[in-house]
Chains A and B, each alone.
Chain A
């Protein structure tokens, strides 16, 4: 078993060895990312409940630059996006996929694997350079491509890897100077905290605009009361962003794991088991005035929900691609009645339809992402992408099992796991951000 440093080097090697980096002339910018990654990479894990302290005196929050608005219709990712996607995809296929079944069975990802994911520099992507992040442009599109690529390895593990990034992304996008300087350096520092964005609640027809969890003003701060469902890695998380109703409107609060009245209880589900989902209980939790994000601005909360829906679309695309890639060799190799079952239209057309709907899911997701990052605030493209990804990824998951027949139903093949995981797309709100 390699030690953490060995694993760190392996992750670095994985990125640095990619031919695409040289092809695209990205050696310099990649090295910068890798330098940052190596700085954070070789830490030994410490216990929970750290003290977060503001490390920099800043008057203004730091934000990433917005992406430029292109003139022409284009489906080509930028060179940097291509590099990120390739790095994430190699990690997904080489590291996540082989570890996925055990993580699903164990109800959590191995620590080494999560460490490697961090070393890939994921937590640096959305964070401004001022706090040790990778800087560059703010790009929801880049994050969509990374989430999609990771989910191509495994859905549950992708969620486990990306869950903390949702918190650093939220702080980078909407945190004030105090919140950023208190929490962001930890995400790019020696040992990044486990963190989670908790929006979902346990009730039918959940609507993120109408939460049961409430916050009220008290003693110059807030008191938050309620419970959040299916929070990934909640038991080990040190920092949460929690959605609660404040004066009848949903708002986001930063909650440290040491807060009195905060507790978690395991809530394993049909899928997402690698993400170790749990219920987060907030029992009259007292928060300081500085916990409220963006003064509870409605547009910030709406953007948070939109970006999380987009993230789940990207995840659906990635895992649906995994299903298709798994099916093709199977139906070509599996012989029945004297020929490969793919020679039958009933099988071949099911594969064709997965291919068509998957491409549709991808295009809807990309369009919604590119509109988001160009500052368009209409909800429609995201609503359409979400509807489509929910409906079609479900069919992909189901047909993935169906076309393997009895083999699809047993754990020797990953399709039964993806069947369970893909059901989450229509259930989850919040949790991930792009």
Chain B
């Protein structure tokens, strides 16, 4: 039966995440926006609490443990960890996207490990903070084109190459590095390797200065004859041209709704703030009256709220499909595309509505408008999501629709 409300059983989790967002994230938002690269130590205690929540099954983190698809299929409608994780992230990013990304042990690398690691690896890497290193100076969206190489030498793979845009790269214990076993074999030869910080030949070369999400560190690494134990390769070590990229891309099918959730949370923060600012100025939206008979700012806010609601529901749909083991690659990309552009549009428009109040550092809105932009870029840019959606709808291959 069609019912699109937050399920009762997740309401405590949502409330809890909201408290965290308000009391810890918002309280530290401006501090770490200004002190870029400073470690947000307030998060350490919070991370321990959230680890506890994870163990108790009440997952609400950044999805580090929440995106593994359950092996068994159960009958009937299911609301599981994909949905609860999305709801948790929405709340936390209503607080602060940068601080969420900086949460210890909740990195994208943790997602990759949770999604594709075998049982032994899951145990070995449990409780460690894992960052993700895909992008290189010469390749971004075309991640099949990476140049970092891995060559088997005895019990180790020897990695060589350069990685950039590694979120939490400085602070994490582990970095999941994408490298190719054989550049001639294309995407099928790309594997992910868990590299321990401090491994000889694995060198952090710089931290970036960014437009937004400054609380989250973004690192660049060089790998120079870096020897990684062969049991640190995630997934199948064979190069299977038939199966191709599926293994590594699986991570993305699971994480796109999570990034969309971040955008949804940030969008709500902007809308709530702007509604309050307008209310103080004596303007409210009347949901019964036609938009055109209302104040222009109220009508604009109504349209922005509608965009927000579409982004939110698309995201929940993608997560719900994952929980119910329905193929959701199309819906995940739709959600990411819609939520990514919506958060930027809404944030920038809200700044205009609020005027100097929105542009000034006196309020957080200007920061949210800067933070927003990354959400339409990482985990697949707007343009990449549109390509995925278009190929699916039109039945085209990547060779036909480039």
A16 on the B face (CB < 8 A): no
Instruction: Please tell me the size bucket of the interface on A.
Output: 35 or more
Per-residue A-contact encoding for B43-86, CB less than 8 Å = 1, 0 else: 00000000000000000000000000000000001110001000
Contacts of B400 in A (CB 8 A): 340, 343
Known A-B contacts A343-B401, A352-B386, A383-B302; the reply to A72 vs B77 at CB < 8 A is yes
Contact residues, B1-29 vs A (CB, 8 A): 1-9
Tell me how far the C-beta of A36 lies from the nearest C-beta in chain B, rounded to whole angstroms.
24
Known A-B contacts A351-B390, A355-B334; the reply to A74 vs B291 at CB < 8 A is no
A388 adjacent to B309 (CB under 8 Å): yes
B305 adjacent to A384 (CB under 8 Å): yes
Total inter-chain residue pairs, C-beta < 8 Å: 163
Known A-B contacts A77-B2, A384-B309; the reply to A71 vs B7 at CB < 8 A is yes
Which secondary structure dominates where chain A touches chain B?
Answer: helix
Distance between Cα atoms of A342 and B389 in the complex (Å): 13
Distance between Cα atoms of A391 and B309 in the complex (Å): 14
Partner of A73, one of B287, B320, B386: B320
Tell me how far the C-beta of B74 lies from the nearest C-beta in chain A, rounded to whole angstroms.
13
A205 on the B face (CB < 8 A): yes
Contacts of B307 in A (CB 8 A): 388
Contact residues, A240-283 vs B (CB, 8 A): none
A331 adjacent to B394 (CB under 8 Å): yes
Contacts of B303 in A (CB 8 A): 387, 391
Per-residue A-contact encoding for B302-331, CB less than 8 Å = 1, 0 else: 110111011101101100110000000001
Contacts of A75 in B (CB 8 A): 2, 4, 317, 320-321
Instruction: Please tell me the size bucket of the interface on B.
Output: 35 or more
| Most B Cβ at <10 Å: residue of A78, A81, A352 | A352
B394 adjacent to A72 (CB under 8 Å): no
A19 on the B face (CB < 8 A): no
Contacts of B302 in A (CB 8 A): 383-384, 387
Per-residue B-contact encoding for A360-382, CB less than 8 Å = 1, 0 else: 11011011011100100011111
B184 on the A face (CB < 8 A): no
Contacts of A348 in B (CB 8 A): 386-387, 390-391, 394, 396, 401
Tell me how far the C-beta of A241 lies from the nearest C-beta in chain B, rounded to whole angstroms.
20
A383 adjacent to B287 (CB under 8 Å): yes
A65 on the B face (CB < 8 A): no
A357 on the B face (CB < 8 A): yes
A332 adjacent to B289 (CB under 8 Å): no
A141 adjacent to B2 (CB under 8 Å): yes
B1 adjacent to A78 (CB under 8 Å): yes
B290 on the A face (CB < 8 A): yes
Distance between Cα atoms of A46 and B96 in the complex (Å): 67
Contacts of A68 in B (CB 8 A): 1
Distance between Cα atoms of A380 and B1 in the complex (Å): 22
Tell me how far the C-beta of A326 lies from the nearest C-beta in chain B, rounded to whole angstroms.
13
Known A-B contacts A328-B393, A359-B331; the reply to A76 vs B2 at CB < 8 A is yes
Partner of B5, one of A73, A81, A141, A382: A73
Contacts of A205 in B (CB 8 A): 290, 292-293
A353 on the B face (CB < 8 A): yes
A302 on the B face (CB < 8 A): yes
A366 adjacent to B2 (CB under 8 Å): yes
A35 on the B face (CB < 8 A): no
Per-residue B-contact encoding for A315-342, CB less than 8 Å = 1, 0 else: 0000000001000100110000000101
Distance between Cα atoms of A357 and B4 in the complex (Å): 18
Known A-B contacts A207-B293, A343-B401; the reply to A351 vs B309 at CB < 8 A is no
Tell me how far the C-beta of B302 lies from the nearest C-beta in chain A, rounded to whole angstroms.
5
Closest to A339 in B: B400
B314 adjacent to A360 (CB under 8 Å): yes
A384 adjacent to B77 (CB under 8 Å): no
| Most A Cβ at <10 Å: residue of B83, B313, B331 | B313
Partner of A360, one of B289, B310, B395: B310
B338 on the A face (CB < 8 A): yes
B316 adjacent to A73 (CB under 8 Å): yes
Distance between Cα atoms of A58 and B172 in the complex (Å): 74
B4 adjacent to A367 (CB under 8 Å): yes
Known A-B contacts A73-B6, A352-B389, A383-B302; the reply to A364 vs B309 at CB < 8 A is yes
B396 adjacent to A359 (CB under 8 Å): no
Partner of A367, one of B313, B321, B402: B313
Where the two chains meet, the residues of B that have a C-beta atom closer than 8 Å to any C-beta of A are: 1-9, 77-79, 83, 285, 287-293, 302-303, 305-307, 309-311, 313-314, 316-317, 320-321, 331, 334, 337-338, 383, 386-387, 389-391, 393-396, 400-402
Known: A324-B393, A343-B400. 19 other contacts (CB 8 A): A75-B320, A75-B321, A76-B1, A343-B401, A348-B394, A349-B386, A352-B386, A352-B387, A355-B393, A356-B334, A359-B314, A360-B313, A366-B2, A370-B5, A383-B285, A384-B287, A384-B306, A387-B306, A388-B306
Where the two chains meet, the residues of A that have a C-beta atom closer than 8 Å to any C-beta of B are: 67-78, 81, 141, 205-207, 209, 302, 305, 324, 328, 331-332, 340, 342-343, 345, 348-349, 351-353, 355-357, 359-361, 363-364, 366-367, 369-371, 374, 378-385, 387-388, 391
